[in-house]
Amino acid sequence: MKPDEGGVARRYARAAMIYCDAHGGHEEFGGALATVLEAFQKLPLFESLLTTPILRREEKLELTDSVISALNLPIAVGRYLGILIAKGRVEHLGAISHKYQDFLDEKNKRARAEVYTAVALDDLMKQRISEGLSTRFGKEVICAYHVDEGLYGGVMARVGNTIIDSSIRGKLDAIRQSISALTS
C-alpha cells in the first residue's frame, strides 16, 4: 500500500457511499468499480493512459467515457473516474474499490472470509462452512475457497482479523509449541 493510500481510499470510498445513499445502486456501483479494475488488469495500457501526465485531462475523460460505454457501466462510475482523474487518484482505485466493498459489507451486515482446505470441497460442504461462519459471526459470511495441500486436512478460515484454524497442520503446530514450551 502506498503512503496514505488507506486515507485516500477511505475518503473516496466514503464519498461514493454517500452518493449511493442518495441515489441508490450500491451493489451496482461496487460491481462497476470491480469491472474497471478488471479492465485495468486485462489492459494495463488503459490505466497507464489515465495516469500519464502526457495526456490532457479532456483526453483521459474521453477515453474513460468510451470504456464506460463499451462496458455498459453506469454513467455515475464514469463521472467518479473523472473525479479521480482530476484529483490524480486513479492509481488508488484498487484500494478505493476494496474499501468501498468493506463499507458496503458493513452496511449490509456481512463479512468476507478466505477459507483454506487441503482438498477441493463440494457445494454442500461449502454451504455448511458458510452457514457455520455466519452463525458464529452473527452476519452473512461470503466465503472465497482456496486449496492448500499443506494443511493436510481440516479447515482454516480468515474472517476479518480473526483466524479459525482447525487444520491438521495448525494442530501439529500447536503441539510443537506446547512441547517446545515444556522443554525450554
- What's the CA gap between 141 and 52, in Å, rounded? 39
What is the tally of structural domains in the chain?
Answer: 2
> Whole-number mean pLDDT of the chain?
91
Query: At which of 54, 76, 105 does a domain end?
Result: 105
- CATH number of the domain to which 154 belongs: 3.40.30
Percent of the chain clearing pLDDT 70 (strictly above): 97
Q: Which domain holds residue 35?
A: 5-105
89 and 123 part of one domain: no
- CATH number of the domain to which 10 belongs: 1.10.520
- Residue 2 pLDDT greater than 70, yes or no: no
Query: Using an 8 Å Cβ cutoff, are 147 and 154 in contact?
Result: no
Query: pLDDT tens digits for 106-134?
Result: 999 999 999 999 899 999 999 999 999 99
Q: What is the mean pLDDT of residues 93-107?
A: 95
